[in-house]
Amino acid sequence: AIQMTQSPSSLSASVGDTVTITCRASQGIRYELGWYQQRPGKAPELLISSASTLHSGVPSRFFGSGSGTDFTLTISGLQPEDFATYYCLQDYNYPRTFGPGTKVEVK
Amino acid sequence: QVQLVESGGGLVKPGGSLRLSCAASGFTFSDYYMSWIRQAPGKGLEWVSYISGDGSIIHYADSVKGRFSVSRDNSKNSLSLQMNSLRGEDSALYYCVREAGHSGYDALDHWGQGTLVTVSS
């Protein structure tokens, strides 16, 4: 199975900051990667598919990039509702595998 | 609008069985691949199983293979997960999830709110 890693595991930031989360796959997955946001007590929500395609209704401050094994999610101008945990998920093959998550906390 | 409503969770003893259901609405159910994703309390997300729109393609995580069985009834817009030989590590919130496209290799664009399974004696 493809292993997904994320860094950092957590970070502290303030409203208005720009934060970057990295996801790495143990083998090349082309651009077959999605990013998900999970707020406390809520189901995850799709932010970005195919590494860089913003899902309908997702604010443009979310930006995804990368291909192959290395991917990033950047949030520009952090908003109060963005404090959450973020997961990457490879869509390249089965079994699907998630990264362990990155928790974005209030500084 | 797309709605996915899970049911069937509860407390079960180790070695026991449970059947989860997911009622789908707001889209043509048979056109979409569906997955089950789970999340143990305080932990990350784990993909569990997947089934194609016509039910002909099914995959399982190694952790549940041989114990769990996914199925769907397109006439009732319903997805099911039969869970047998349950273990403590199966305790989790189980999400019913729709895949965005029709290839089986798409992002997961709609999630239910989950149903909680607790395996404990």
* Local confidence band at A102 (pLDDT 50, 70, 90 cut-offs): very high
**Partner-chain residue, chosen from B45, B61, B106, that has the shortest CB–CB distance to A44:** B45
Residues of A whose CB is below 8 A from B113: 43
CA–CA dist B103, B46 (Å, integer): 21
Dihedrals phi, psi of B105, to nearest 5 degrees:
-130, 45
Residues of chain B with a CB closer than 8 angstroms to some CB in chain A: 35, 37, 44-47, 50, 59-62, 95, 100, 105-109, 111-114
User: A41 to each of A11, B14, B79, B94, how far by Cα in Å?
Assistant: 19, 26, 23, 13
Residues B77-120: tens digit of each pLDDT: 999 999 999 999 999 999 999 999 888 889 999 999 999 999 99
Name the residue among B47, B109, B111 with its Cβ closest to that of A96: B47
- Residue A10 confidence (pLDDT) above 90: yes
Closest to B50 (Cα-Cα) out of A51, A95, A35:
A95
Q: What is the mean pLDDT of the segment spanning A35-63?
A: 97
Residues found in chain B: 121
Place of tokens 């995580």: B61
